Structure 1
Amino acid sequence: MADAGGAPVRAEDPSAPRRQDDESFADFAYRILCDELIVLDIKPGEPLNDDVISRRLGVGRTPIREAMKRLESDHLVVAYPRRGTFAAGVDITDLAEISEIRQLLEPAAAARAARHASPQLRSELRDFARDVGQLLPGMQSQQDLMRLDMRVHRMIYRATGSRHLEDVLIRYDNLATRIWSLVLEKLPPVSEHIAQHIELLEHIAAGDSEAAARLTSRHVTDFENHIRAVL
């Protein structure tokens, strides 16, 4: 049975995701639930029960509730008094507004990353660009491709060196990816779209802020155009 505090409980599913060594129980629950909500493994409108999630993840109810509060502030879940907590809906009409905000912020973030990334991060960016090129040919699952896309974006956001900017960018990328996930089955393979990141990562690593901003702007525009093409 789930513990009311932060102590772990036994997960019923032996294949349950694993907590990283440096991760709190609340951060672990947030990471897993956030991913499931973004790629729609948890469907819009689906109820989220503390006890069920606690047993599934092997985490006490208190960390689950902390994670739920963060997810609510991210607009990924909605809590109703006396009714419970549910996965937030995905509204296609939000696409234009989300794309407009991302078109303002994402190129600026890529340019900032190109200017401010540490030598260690530049090395990581080069290595990751190579990894993306090697991973893409063998990836068949659209959801796995979207998770790779998210990993690229998270690395670029981290390279900006601004925690505030990183938090805002992650929130809007999450919302954009949920819209993408809603129509994913209607889309052609997104590997070509994700392959654009290889050149982008290389430009950021090289410190070319103008090229990084230009490629990012094109990437955001392509994202919106892909979605609109299947609506």
Structure 2
Amino acid sequence: MYLPKRLDRENGKEYAYRVLKDNIMSLELKPGQSISETELAQELGISRTPIREVLMKLKEEHLIEVKPQIGTYVSLIDRRLVEEAFFMRYHLEKEAMKLACTKFPEDKLIELEKSLMSQRLIAGKQKREIEFHKLDIEFHGIIFSGVNLEEVWNGILKISTHYNRLRLIAEIKYSNSITIEQHEKFVEVIKNNDFENAQSLVTDHLEKPRKGWKYIFNTDSEYKDYFKE
């Protein structure tokens, strides 16, 4: 498990939540992997009480499964939750892009271009998939922020814990060059107030990657044990 340093003014519970969630979302803690409160407390250097509270919070976010008398596990990826998250993001991002093509702040446009530049720098490089994945999420978050829908994006992220883990697997498996090309189009569409092409761009960006999921779901895939039956 990856253990970053505790941030200034970050208490034990906040630190444990950040570390555990980041490790689950990055697949460092794999779907189905068992978790020990005692071992976590020792590794993080905090008592078991905040660990227990954090595990309950992560359970509410569908990231932890507690089996009475058996143990605590990282939740397997549930395709139903993936589809629900996709539905929410697909429809809300279309609406956000409508607003972005109407009016978008210059400072946010600069943020998008900086994010895009960072994506280009690490695209295709080995062991940088997680970093690219985070930049991808950040990129779309900037769009929502630019149209004053930050909390809507936060809501999407909250429901997308299974969806984003599946997306990360796909990004590790396949090239991210198409993602960058599409992100470039997002910037151009917003710059040019290209309302007509905004909707189809969101559809292409979110729908096309789903075609590659078929292999990941196959029974002979190396990821087959990551999914709930």
Short-chain TM bin: 0.7 to 0.9
Give the deviation of 1:19 after TM superposition.
Answer: 2.8
Give the deviation of 1:174 after TM superposition.
Answer: 2.7
The alpha-carbon distance between structure 1 residues 196 and 64, as it changes in their structure 2 partners (threshold 3 A), is farther
Give the TM-score, by structure 2 length: 0.73
Give the deviation of 1:132 after TM superposition.
Answer: 2.0
Query: Is the aligned partner of 1:189 residue 2:189?
Result: no
Query: Is the aligned partner of 1:215 residue 2:211?
Result: no
Partners of 2:86 and 2:154 in 1: CA distance: 17
**For residue 121 of structure 1, what is the amino acid of its counterpart?**
K
The alpha-carbon distance between structure 1 residues 175 and 114, as it changes in their structure 2 partners (threshold 3 A), is farther
Whether the 8 Å contact between 2:88 and 2:156 is mirrored in structure 1 is no
Partners of 1:71 and 1:161 in 2: CA distance: 27
After superposition, give the CA deviation of every residue in 1:158-201 in whole Å (9 maximum; x if it has no partner): 4443354122210343321222345566x332343244223324
RMSD of the TM alignment (CA)?
3.3
Partners of 1:159 and 1:24 in 2: CA distance: 31
Give the TM-score, by structure 1 length: 0.72
Whether the 8 Å contact between 1:42 and 1:87 is mirrored in structure 2 is yes
Pick the aligned partner of 1:33 from 20, 23, 39.
20
Partners of 1:54 and 1:209 in 2: CA distance: 52
Pick the aligned partner of 1:88 from 68, 72, 75.
75
**For residue 19 of structure 1, what is the amino acid of its counterpart?**
R
Partners of 1:88 and 1:170 in 2: CA distance: 17
Give the deviation of 1:68 after TM superposition.
Answer: 2.2
SS in 2 for 1:41: coil
SS in 2 for 1:79: strand
**For residue 90 of structure 1, what is the amino acid of its counterpart?**
I
Whether the 8 Å contact between 1:157 and 1:166 is mirrored in structure 2 is yes
Q: Report the equivalent of 1:5.
A: none
Q: Report the equivalent of 1:4.
A: none
The alpha-carbon distance between structure 1 residues 107 and 35, as it changes in their structure 2 partners (threshold 3 A), is farther
Query: Is the aligned partner of 1:20 residue 2:17?
Result: no
The alpha-carbon distance between structure 1 residues 98 and 16, as it changes in their structure 2 partners (threshold 3 A), is closer
Q: Report the equivalent of 2:221.
A: none
Whether the 8 Å contact between 1:136 and 1:195 is mirrored in structure 2 is no
Q: Report the equivalent of 1:169.
A: 156
Whether the 8 Å contact between 1:39 and 1:143 is mirrored in structure 2 is yes
Q: Report the equivalent of 1:148.
A: 135
Matches within 5 A, 1:195-210: 195-201=181-187, 203-204=189-190, 206=191, 208=193, 210=195
Q: Percent identity?
A: 24
- How many pairs does the alignment contain? 215
Whether the 8 Å contact between 2:104 and 2:146 is mirrored in structure 1 is yes
Unaligned runs of 5+ in 2: 219-229
